[in-house]
């Protein structure tokens, strides 16, 4: 797979170009969006999250409500709900947050008073020196009390998290998985819960091994857990993961000879891949116009744009595009300048 590629689009396409307006969401809800397991899983996770966060959309089509209800007990719904629950565990309620912030500000103010008192003590004599020493002792006591207060508050927060973590671990362990991308999500969830339970982001050798096995997978088959595993491993080892190597034979098939020759000649680059909100394309500037087309694996065109090839770069905004695998082609006349798979994640 080639390295980074840039293509320049003017403006951001409206979300309906990629979203449910073209029937994509309905296809997913009716289980007709794809027969490829990983793509279907990512697409269903996308739609389940979308409908969960925007319940007003349920009235748009009867199939949406049926989809949301039926998926709630499947790995799609249960793994989504588990990730949401883990994220919620890391949140602190407003009352506790405000209390901690107020205590912290008071601590800073008291510490400043202590520093000022110490500076006055340098030159103080007689009764002034005694008074300042008394004040200093009181300030130190106040700092100790504030530290204890912050420590107690944090201990309560952690205690609540640990209590909730036990239930989530049981729920996560009870999720039956059939595919590697589901098993990966379940494994990464388990490690996140271990972190929360222990109160620190530390990895054992066994956990590093588990995460490394997931991180080295191709995202198109291993799912989003591949990127979550890589993020966790960044705490112990900063490493570059080349998806062009990890995904050989999966979403980076050997191109046709004429395409390979054109790629070598024009050096068309696509990055990032996998992508989330935007994909960049770049090539050596040339005369004429070209056409950039994105299609799903069913062959349905989801995006098309005429490009000024003299510009040499463009961007395609994919925020509203369901997470899945797509075929990206850049054509000029009868020449295929680019033809490769593009993975969209959320």
Q: What is the pLDDT of residues 251-280, one digit of tens each?
A: 433 344 344 344 444 467 887 877 777 888
Q: What is the DSSP letter of 322?
A: P
Number of compact structural domains in the chain: 1
172, part of any domain: no
298, part of any domain: yes
Distance CA 110, CA 291 (A): 65
Beta-carbon contacts of residue 188 (< 8 Å; ≥ 6 apart): 211, 214, 225, 228, 229, 232
The answer to whether the Cα torsion of 49, 52, 56, 62 is positive or negative is positive
Distance CA 235, CA 200 (A): 12
Enclosing domain of residue 329: 15-19+254-344
Q: What is the DSSP letter of 65?
A: H
Beta-carbon contacts of residue 211 (< 8 Å; ≥ 6 apart): 188, 191, 203, 229, 232, 233
pTM of the predicted structure, to 2 decimals: 0.58
**Cβ burial 202-231 (10 Å sphere, 16+ → b, else e):** ebeeebbebbeebbbbbbbbbbbbbbbbbe
Distance CA 121, CA 226 (A): 59
The answer to whether 187 and 225 are in contact (CB under 8 A) is yes
Average pLDDT over residues 306-314: 87
Distance CA 337, CA 237 (A): 37
pLDDT band at 5 (very low <50, low <70, confident <90, very high): very low
pLDDT band at 184 (very low <50, low <70, confident <90, very high): very high
| Mean pLDDT, rounded, of the chain | 79
Distance CA 67, CA 51 (A): 9
pLDDT band at 196 (very low <50, low <70, confident <90, very high): confident
Distance CA 76, CA 64 (A): 15
Q: Which of 344, 335, 297, 340 is nearest to 27 (CA)?
A: 297
24, part of any domain: no
307: CATH:
2.60.40.10
Distance CA 292, CA 300 (A): 14
pLDDT digits (tens, 9 = 90+) for 87-129: 888 788 888 888 888 888 898 899 899 999 999 998 889 999 9
Distance CA 63, CA 5 (A): 38
332, part of any domain: yes
User: What is the torsion angle, in degrees rounded to the nearest 10, for the CA atoms of residue 106, residue 107, residue 113 and residue 115?
Assistant: -160
218, part of any domain: no
pLDDT digits (tens, 9 = 90+) for 232-247: 887 666 566 665 555 6
Cβ neighbours around 308 below 10 Å, total: 14
291, part of any domain: yes
Distance CA 346, CA 272 (A): 13
234, part of any domain: no
1-15, 30-44, 322-336 — which one is most confidently predicted on average? 322-336
Average pLDDT over residues 172-179: 92
The answer to whether 38 and 223 are in contact (CB under 8 A) is yes
190, part of any domain: no
Q: What percent of the chain has pLDDT over 70?
A: 81
């Amino acid at each position: 797979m080639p390295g980074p590629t840039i293509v320049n689009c003017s403006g951001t396409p409206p979300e309906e170009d990629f979203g449910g307006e073209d029937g994509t969401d309905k296809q997913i809800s009716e289980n007709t969006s794809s027969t490829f397991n990983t793509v279907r899983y990512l697409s269903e996770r996308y739609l389940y999250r979308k409908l969960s966060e925007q319940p007003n959309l349920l009235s748009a089509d009867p199939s949406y409500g049926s989809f949301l209800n039926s998926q709630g007990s499947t790995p799609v719904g249960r793994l989504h709900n588990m990730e949401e629950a883990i994220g919620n565990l890391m949140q602190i309620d407003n009352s506790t947050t405000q209390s901690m912030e107020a205590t912290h500000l008071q601590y800073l103010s008291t510490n400043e008073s202590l520093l000022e008192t110490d500076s006055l003590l340098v030159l103080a004599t007689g009764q002034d020196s005694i008074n300042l020493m008394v004040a200093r002792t009181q300030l130190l006591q106040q700092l100790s009390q504030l530290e204890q207060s912050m420590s107690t508050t944090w201990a309560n927060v952690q205690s609540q998290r640990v209590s909730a973590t036990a239930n989530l671990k049981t729920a996560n362990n009870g999720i039956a998985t059939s595919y590697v991308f589901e098993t990966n999500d379940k494994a990464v969830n388990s490690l996140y819960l271990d972190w929360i339970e222990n109160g620190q982001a530390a990895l054992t050798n066994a956990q590093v091994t588990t995460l490394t096995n997931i991180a080295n997978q191709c995202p198109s088959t291993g799912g989003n857990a591949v990127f979550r595993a890589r993020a966790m491993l960044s705490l112990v080892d900063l490493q570059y993961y080349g998806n062009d190597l990890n995904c050989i034979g999966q979403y980076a098939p050997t191109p046709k000879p004429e395409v390979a020759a054109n790629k070598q000649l024009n050096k068309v680059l696509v990055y990032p891949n996998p992508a989330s909100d935007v994909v960049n394309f770049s090539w050596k500037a040339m005369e004429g116009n070209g056409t950039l087309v994105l299609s799903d694996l069913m062959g349905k065109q989801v995006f098309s744009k005429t490009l000024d090839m003299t510009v040499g770069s463009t961007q395609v905004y994919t925020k509203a595009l369901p997470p899945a695998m797509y075929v990206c082609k850049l054509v000029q006349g009868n020449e295929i300048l680019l033809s490769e798979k593009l993975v969209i994640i959320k």
